[in-house]
């Protein structure tokens, strides 16, 4: 517990506390706390961020990841843990913002993707669904997707974009191409509704 500061690449098995890197931070087993690095942060084990994970270029978490606060990077946030992960707060990235688990709050980036979203996604391309063994299982948005292309298995709320797709709509779609596979109007331009 405490503070870890490094000038180049700080690599440790486990860190709990404040992790500051002039270039990059890497934790192999478990991380808990706040991470800040000029280039990026990488965690291979169970990761719990309380407060913020800020990587100049990117953040990568490959174990079960729980973020309570803010995750930010200029290029990408890449969270692909094997266990179910949770973000409560805000995840923002310039290009790719991937979260394997549930986002409770907001996910912003050119391309955003999460298993489930309780809040909103804003980007050029937004997706809420997940697959198991190569087969799409489900993904739910309770709130909104706002972007050029929006895709979710289930939507409880609205989609605003050029192209909107869902298998089950409980709300509205506003866009040029609106597809609701379970609705009375599978395709309807401009505005589509389902219940």
Alpha-carbon distance of 106 to 168, in angstroms, equals 22
Could you tell me the residue ranges of all domains in the chain? 1-109, 117-195
Q: Report pLDDT digits (tens) over 139-162.
A: 899 999 999 999 999 999 999 999
4-18, 27-41, 101-115: the lowest-pLDDT one: 4-18
- Degrees (nearest 5) of the Cα angle 34, 36, 39? 150
Residues 87 and 69 sit within 8 Å (Cβ to Cβ): no
Would the pLDDT of 179 be above 90? Answer: yes
CA separation for the pair 101, 139 (Å, rounded)? 10
Does the pLDDT at position 82 exceed 70? no
d(CA 91, CA 105): 8
């Amino acid at each position: 517990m405490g503070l870890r500061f490094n000038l180049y690449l700080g690599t440790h098995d486990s860190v709990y506390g404040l992790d500051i890197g002039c270039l990059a931070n890497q934790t192999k087993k478990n991380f808990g706390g706040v991470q800040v690095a000029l280039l990026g942060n990488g965690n291979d084990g169970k990761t719990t961020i309380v407060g913020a994970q800020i990587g100049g270029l990117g953040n990568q978490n490959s174990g079960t990841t729980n973020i309570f606060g803010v995750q930010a990077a200029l290029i990408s946030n890449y969270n692909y843990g094997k266990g179910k992960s949770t973000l409560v707060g805000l995840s923002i990235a310039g290009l790719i913002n991937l979260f394997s688990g549930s986002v409770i709050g907001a996910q912003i980036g050119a391309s955003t993707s999460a298993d489930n979203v309780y809040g909103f996604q804003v980007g050029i391309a937004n997706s809420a669904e997940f697959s198991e063994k190569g087969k799409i299982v489900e993904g739910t948005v309770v709130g909104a997707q706002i972007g050029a292309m929006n895709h979710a298995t289930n939507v409880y709320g609205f989609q605003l974009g050029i192209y909107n797709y869902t298998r089950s709509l409980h709300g509205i779609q506003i866009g040029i191409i609106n597809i609701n596979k379970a609705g009375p109007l599978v395709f309807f331009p401009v505005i589509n509704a389902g219940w």
